[in-house]
Amino acid sequence: MVRRIVLALVLILGALLVPAAAHAATADKLTVLSDWTQPAASSYNAWNSARLNRDPWKSYSFDWSTDYCSASPDKPLGFDFTISCWHHDFGYRNYKDAGAFPANKARLDDMLYADLQRVCATYSVFVRPACYSLAWTYYQAVHAFGSLAFVKKSDIKRAETLIK
């Protein structure tokens, strides 16, 4: 009789603790995701470090897939936006998987713009205005439409005139 009561208590506790543990793991994943998807350089650096060494983060089952800048050039006029676009894809895909995308979309788009501006800051002062112009165009495309597919060739041509 005592064994049955103890067994019943163990089963009840186990049933109560498993959902609590799953909720804690989800909350922890969202915390890490939030830490890695802020507009600050430190957030980008933490995400990039994890991107380069994913083993410690396997238990979180993050989606690291990317199509980079989608249908837009990854390196418009030679400015390398590939990793910034990957960071943006990471945020979009993982917040969608977590069912928390709408509440985070604006911040993810701001993060992309901040990442692109940091990329532009690494280029010569002579071509930097063209890079910033493209960064703004890419930001506007994702902010308004949720996709870089809406960047037009004319936008890139307009930025190109700033180099000449």
* CATH homologous superfamily for the domain 25-161: Phospholipase A2 domain (1.20.90.10)
Blockwise average pLDDT, block size 10, the chain, 164 residues? 53 46 65 98 98 97 97 96 98 97 97 98 98 97 87 91 88
Q: Which residues are the active-site residues? A: 88
pLDDT for 22: 38
* Pair 86, 100: CB distance under 8 Å: no
| Closest-CA residue to 119 (of 162, 75, 60) | 75
Amino acid occupying residue 140? Q
Structural domain boundaries of the chain? Answer: 25-161
pLDDT at 147: 83
**CB contact at 8 A, 160 and 116:** no
pTM: 0.83
The per-residue pLDDT for 1 is 63
What whole-number distance in Å separates Cα of residue 124 and Cα of residue 47? 26
Report the C-alpha gap between 164 and 162 in whole angstroms.
Answer: 6
